Each structure stands twice: as structure tokens, then as C-alpha cells.
Amino acid sequence: MRRRWLKRGMALCMLFAIYLLSREGAMLTAKTGAESRGLIMIDSGHGGIDPGVVGIGGLQEKEVNLDIARCLEKELKKEGYEVLLTRESDMGLYDEDSRNKKVQDMQNRCAMIQEKKPLLTVSIHQNSYEDQEVCGPQVFYYTHSVKGAALAKCIQEELNRQLEVENPRVEKGNSTYYLLKRSEGVLNIVETGFLTNPREAELLATKEYQQKCARAICQGILKFLKTVEINSENMV
């Protein structure tokens, strides 16, 4: 009788040990899988004392940028990527006593990118023009970045397609924008519309359209990551 209970006890202990090992293994696998896809950084342009473009009806670019960035963060996390925002509230990346807040803000954004070394960075912005008829999304990349151009093409195509742009633009190289020129790695500036265009300003103020922009950007990023091999030691 004693031997029988001893055997049963040993069997239960083994079953419990197997359960713990399988549970830990599953948790480790899930964690590893989540981490393996890499980090993507989202930069919300402007913030704090810098509103960016102030469009029709007083709509501020800094607010639209952050709203779209938050939507994009959710979309990318669904796909298993780690996401880091340069700002998560209406704040600038500068010290209050800084003599040149704008320069310090841009320097700190570049420093974050350099420190974190993400797979890629997308900086969300809005556009403006004196002619209110001008509209449509526009993606910029650093002129000398082959991978930046490839990412911009993917995002531009998805924005044109999903936003059903009547007169679609093409991605555009630039060698003067501070972030493009000074940042390391693959970076695009994505301007999702013109706040000076009445129709686009109205759309960009809505959560539905912001989510639509975010989904298009996300799909563009995914397309890029599927077609371009990312070398973390040589992202140019």
C-alpha cells in the first residue's frame, strides 16, 4: 500500500514538473517571437511650444501627428513589432531654459534614433501650401539612402492606394531636412496631407481617417520589410 501511494506521488510530481516546463517553454517562445521582429521608431513631428502647421479651423499639426503616431503604434504592435515613440504627449524634446529649443529638440530626436538603432524610423508630419487646392500625402527620404527610397516608395504607394488619392504623388528625395540629413539608419518623413486644404483638414481631424492613414503607413512598412533585407550594422 505504501509503495502504491509513493508511486502515485512520484507520478503526480512528474506530471506537475512537465506542466511547469511546458508552460515556461511556451512563455519563452512567445516572448522570443515577439522580440525577434525588432524595434520601429515613430517620431511625432513638433510638439510643446512648436505647433507646426496651424491649418483651417485652427487645427494644429502637432496634435494630428501624435494622433496618427498612436494609431500607427497600435497597428505595428499587432504585427509583433516593438514600437518606441519619440514623444507620447504634447511636449517638445528640449529643456525649458534652452536658448534654442528647436535645435535642441531636433538634436534629441536624432540622439534617440542613434541610441535605440531601430529597424527604421517614420516621422509623421502634415503639409501646407498657399494654394488651398493642393492636397495629397507625400513621403520624403534622404536622397543618398537606397533603403530610405525603397521604404518611401512602399509607404507612398500604400497611402495613394488606401486613401484613394485622385492625383497621386511619388516619393521624393531630399538632402536638406534636418532629420533626414542628420539621422542614422532608414528614416522617412511622412506627410499625410495638407492642413491648408479644406477637405483634407476636415478628414485629418477625424479618428477614422487618422486610423486609415496609420494602416496605410503600416502596410507600407510591412511591404518594405518583406522585400528588403535589413542589415542592422549597415543601414544607409
Is 201 part of a structural domain of the chain? Answer: yes
pLDDT digits (tens, 9 = 90+) for 147-175: 999 999 999 999 999 999 999 999 999 99
> Within this chain, do residues 149 and 52 fall inside the same structural domain, yes or no?
yes
pLDDT of residue 31 exceeding 50, the answer is no
Is 191 part of a structural domain of the chain? Answer: yes
Indicate the number of domains in the chain: 2
Is 234 part of a structural domain of the chain? Answer: no
> Within this chain, do residues 57 and 135 fall inside the same structural domain, yes or no?
yes
> Within this chain, do residues 96 and 11 fall inside the same structural domain, yes or no?
no
> Within this chain, do residues 28 and 132 fall inside the same structural domain, yes or no?
no
> Within this chain, do residues 63 and 98 fall inside the same structural domain, yes or no?
yes
pLDDT of 30: 44
pLDDT of residue 230 exceeding 80, the answer is no
Is 235 part of a structural domain of the chain? Answer: no
pLDDT of 228: 76
Sign of the alpha-carbon torsion through 102, 106, 112, 115:
negative
pLDDT of 36: 52
pLDDT band (50, 70, 90) for residue 15: very low
> Within this chain, do residues 105 and 123 fall inside the same structural domain, yes or no?
yes
What is the residue-averaged pLDDT of the chain? 88
pLDDT of residue 82 exceeding 80, the answer is yes
CATH number at residue 160: 3.40.630.40
Is 205 part of a structural domain of the chain? Answer: yes
pTM surpassing 0.85? Answer: no
> Within this chain, do residues 206 and 89 fall inside the same structural domain, yes or no?
yes
> Within this chain, do residues 183 and 219 fall inside the same structural domain, yes or no?
yes
Share of the chain above pLDDT 70, in %: 81
pLDDT of residue 186 exceeding 90, the answer is yes
> Within this chain, do residues 89 and 1 fall inside the same structural domain, yes or no?
no
> Within this chain, do residues 19 and 79 fall inside the same structural domain, yes or no?
no
One-character DSSP codes across the chain: -HHHHHHHHHHHHHHHHHHHHHHHHHHHHHHHHHHTT-EEEEEE--BTTB---B-GGG-BHHHHHHHHHHHHHHHHHHTT-EEEES-SSS--SS-TT-S-HHHHHHHHHHHHHHHH--SEEEEEEEE--SSTT----EEEEETT-HHHHHHHHHHHHHHHHHTT-SS----EEES-SHHHHH--S-EEEEEEEETTSHHHHHHHTSHHHHHHHHHHHHHHHHHHHHHS---TT---
Is 233 part of a structural domain of the chain? Answer: no
pLDDT band (50, 70, 90) for residue 233: very low
> Within this chain, do residues 12 and 51 fall inside the same structural domain, yes or no?
no
pLDDT digits (tens, 9 = 90+) for 92-132: 999 999 999 999 999 999 999 999 999 999 999 999 999 99
> Within this chain, do residues 108 and 20 fall inside the same structural domain, yes or no?
no
Determine the 3-state secondary structure of 138 from DSSP: strand
The whole domain housing 8 covers: 1-36
